[in-house]
Amino acid sequence: MVVGGGGHGLATAHYLSKVHGLSNVAVVEKGWIGSGNAGRNTTIIRSNYLLPGNNPFYELSMKLWEGLEQDLNYNAMVSQRGVLNLYHSDAQRDAYARRGNGMRLHGVDAELLDAAGVRRMLPFPIRQCTLPIQGGLLQRRGGTARHDAVVWGYARAASGGASISSKIAK
């Protein structure tokens, strides 16, 4: 039994079936599928983390995202346009440089951009906040997916393509 019909719960049900061959997995959700966190937040795809233990985990996650639509045979609107984290101070630059170096040491793409590099990437005017934009850490493979499409794609796949309500407990 998997508790929670959001992205994580439905993905768990899908991979228990696909990878581990379990065919009798129930997903229990108190509301409708995707009614929690998956229904309220943007799905950001990235593996730009510093800690060594996180790098392999999130890089595997990136590889799953990169093949998700083919795996599910469902358009989850995955768009790998890049993830750019902006920095506004020397201390933030140094922290992003460490993160980028750690990522590259583990084979993960990362580029530290200065302010001119950010302007080239984002040529439209950026409204300045309290602190000026000094640069950013870019992961070009990062991006977004439609959170509701991810939920429905996993739900469809986890249910074997049958009527979702007949296989997923409400």
Q: Are 141 and 158 in contact (CB under 8 A)?
A: no
Q: How many CA atoms lie within 13 A of 26 on its CB side?
A: 5
pLDDT for 161 equals: 56
Q: Residues 6 or more apart from 112 whose CB is under 8 A from it? A: 93, 96, 97, 100, 135, 136, 137, 138
Determine the Cα–Cα distance for residues 108 and 93; give it in Å rounded to an integer: 19
Only one residue has tokens 């939920």, namely 151
In eight-state DSSP terms, residue 168 is S
How confident is the model over 137-156, as pLDDT tens digits? Answer: 999 999 999 988 999 999 88
pLDDT for 142 equals: 94
Which helix (H) or strand (E) covers residue 17, if one does?
helix 7-18
Q: Are 106 and 99 in contact (CB under 8 A)?
A: no
How confident is the model over 112-133, as pLDDT tens digits? Answer: 999 999 989 887 766 666 778 8
Q: Helix (H, G, I), strand (E, B), or coil: what is residue 86? A: strand
This prediction has a pTM of 0.79
Determine the average pLDDT of the residues in 35-59. 81
Cα-flanking dihedrals φ and ψ of residue 152, to 5°? -70, -35
